[in-house]
Each structure stands twice: as C-alpha cells, then as structure tokens.
Copies of this chain bind each other. A is one copy, B any other.
C-alpha cells in the first residue's frame, strides 16, 4: 500500500469511497444528501491537502488535512479519513493516520485535533487512542445517529511535539 497526494484524476475513485459514508450519515456530520460535486469540493477543497491510499492501482482509502483554525489556531491540524467498504479491516485507516501524523510533523503542525468523533464509532475511537489521541472533550447528544438516536460526539487531540510554551 502506498499513500500519496490525490490528483484531480482520482476524484471518481474518491467519490466512490466518500459518498456511501456520507449517504449513511452515521460517522460524519455532513448532509447525507449532498451532491457528488459538493462532496468532492468538501473533501478536495483548496483549504485541504488530500491523500489516497492505493494498492495495485486501486484506491482503498482517502484522507484530508487542513488547519483546524485560522490565526492563533493554525498550528493545530485536523484530518478526516475514509476507507472503501471493500477494504475495511485491512488496516487502511491506521496506515493513513500514521502517514498523516508524519506529514503533519513535516508541515510544522504542533498538534492534531478531531472535532467530532461519533461515540458509537467505537472502532475509530479505539484506533485513534491506540495511535496516541486522547479524548479531551465530550459533546453530549451532539449527533443524531440514523439508527441509534442522539449520541455523544468526542473531541480527540494529540500533541505532535513537546507541548509548546
């Protein structure tokens, strides 16, 4: 598996990964009915760096990185990761997250923050914890899950270097 910058020609493969997840509406706080154009504009927008995980010429996953805030918050980045349904359980998300942590350091980011990890997405929560993220916030009933009803969302955070002073 290699991870590399997404190119415009990857858009179709990226859409095939992110649209089913968006439509399901269970793990990302995005409009489930958003158009493919809007979804790609969101995932590959000019404010983001977008990557793909590829194996034997097939794109298995994708992630983006962006500054989580502007101004005095620009030293903290945010990422989103999605894996092809066909490739779940093969460590694609883990590989992408490890890549993103390394890339974030190379970019000079000092921390990485996930703003809205759905608490029912236990697999993701455990994965991020195993990669060094801590739960630093809990947003009570902040997400309306399509089947589980109102559930908490978590804020997760990781310093990428010694905490700055």
A residues engaging B (CB < 8 A)?
22, 25-26, 28-32, 34, 69-76, 110-111, 113, 115-116, 118, 136-146, 149-150, 153, 155, 157, 159, 163-165
7 nearest A-B residue pairs (beta carbon):
A137-B137, A29-B73, A29-B69, A150-B164, A72-B144, A137-B155, A30-B71
How many copies of the shown chain assemble into the complex? 2
Q: Given A111-B141, A137-B138, A139-B136, decide whether A29 and B71 contact each other with a Cβ distance below 8 A.
A: yes
> Could you tell me if B137 and A165 are in contact, using CB atoms closer than 8 angstroms?
no
A157 to B154, CA, bound (A): 13
Q: Given A29-B69, A31-B71, A70-B30, decide whether A140 and B116 contact each other with a Cβ distance below 8 A.
A: no
